[in-house]
Amino acid sequence: MSLPQNGLSHLPMIDGQIVTIERFLLDSQPQYAKGDLTAILYDMALAGKIISAQTRRAGLLDVLGLAGKVNVQGESQQKLDLLADDIIVRLMDHTGRLAGMVTEERKEFIRIPEKYKKGSYILVYDPLDGSSNIDTNISIGTIFGIYRVLDDDTPGIIEDCLQPGQSLVAAGYILYGTSTILVYSAGNGVHSFTLEPSLGEFLLSQENIRFSDKPVFYSYNHARGRDWDKGMHQYANWLRDEHTPKLSYRYIGSMVADFHRNLTHGGVFCYPATPEKPKGKIRLLYEAAPLAFLAEQAGGYGSDGSRSLLDIVPTDIHQRTPVFIGNRYLVEKAEEFLNAHK
Ligand code: FDP
């Protein structure tokens, strides 16, 4: 990103140009495309703006704290989770571009109401990842993935969502941090946009993001260490004691924020399996697979400890998976340690 000198220094620019997300998406669209995917991505940017505005005001509005309900994972839902979920459904169900949706916050596959046209895409999303951090003003984010339906002629069905991450046509996240950033890939590199709050516009801030080949960070919940198997212990020791140059340990506990930091500076995020949680904690469809898609597009890799996260064919829309994601060689090293102690 170049630094302009002419009083526009608050605006992100690429080679002196101000590029809005709309312009970038339209320019990136293949000539044969109908524009539906572009429109879904643009709608997700709009959802991000609305959710961002709500999260910024969360301390003022009555949206902090528990909503008094429990979601399908048996976790307490925060009011802001429900609000973010509602915003996305209300923005997306009537556009004629989707055939269905899956969200962390609803048990069932969301069908498109019959009164609306059915589209050719499926949206899977976690409206607010890291939501246990909401009350403490720590970065949280929306993660999403987009699939094509298996059959254009049938109404959207659950099987449309049970596709491996290899079939994603696009994925991304919106991170509500010190600024609001949208990061996405439609299979042609990873690009980021920063929300300029006074304009309400996402402006291109970085094109073709790649993991640094000199990673800096590793991230996992160290407190879960007592439950790890030998392979994970040895991997953690290797990260701490043997990697050169020395890495730094950082864990926010908001995967999307941990991922973003590691994408920006290089590193690895892990949420391994434990006897208590043999499948780990992270959800495959709307958390792990979209981030693994972005990781691969940025030259990194996402694994469940023995295979690519993108190769796993989901059997349940809310299934969980162990996650190792970040710089390819750091993730492959995790596979090596875990497999040696199976
Ligand atoms: P959260 O429960 O707050 O939504 O997948 C959910 C997730 O957060 C990740 O974002 C985060 O990395 C992880 O869970 C935190 O779990 P631990 O508290 O067990 O570390």
Pocket probe for ligand 1: among 255, 258, 262, 276, the residue whose CB has the most ligand atoms within 8 Å is 255
What's the mean pLDDT in 305-310?
98
User: Using one digit for the tens of pLDDT, what is the confidence trace for 232-285?
Assistant: 999 999 999 999 999 999 999 999 999 999 999 999 999 999 988 999 999 999
CA-to-CA dists, residue 171 to 53, 191, 293, angstroms: 22, 11, 7
| Span of 115-119, 129-133, 235-239, 286-290 with lowest mean pLDDT | 129-133
Asked if residue 63 has its Cβ within 6 Å of ligand 1, the reply is: no
Asked if residue 282 has its Cβ within 6 Å of ligand 1, the reply is: yes
Which residues does residue 193 pair with via DSSP β-bridges, in sequence order? 182, 204
What is the distance in A from the centroid of ligand 1 to the CA of 126?
12
User: Using one digit for the tens of pLDDT, what is the confidence trace for 16-54?
Assistant: 788 999 999 999 988 888 899 999 999 999 999 999 998
What's the mean pLDDT in 88-117?
96
Please, which residues have CB within 8 angstroms of residue 183's CB and are 6 or more apart in sequence?
172, 173, 174, 175, 190, 191, 192, 193, 209, 260, 263, 294
What is the distance in A from the centroid of ligand 1 to the CA of 34?
37
Asked if residue 222 has its Cβ within 6 Å of ligand 1, the reply is: no
Residue 57: band (very low, low, confident or very high) from pLDDT cuts 50, 70, 90 = confident
Mean pLDDT of the chain: 92
Q: What is the DSSP letter of 168?
A: -
User: Using one digit for the tens of pLDDT, what is the confidence trace for 178-208?
Assistant: 999 999 999 999 999 999 999 999 999 999 9
pTM of the model: 0.92
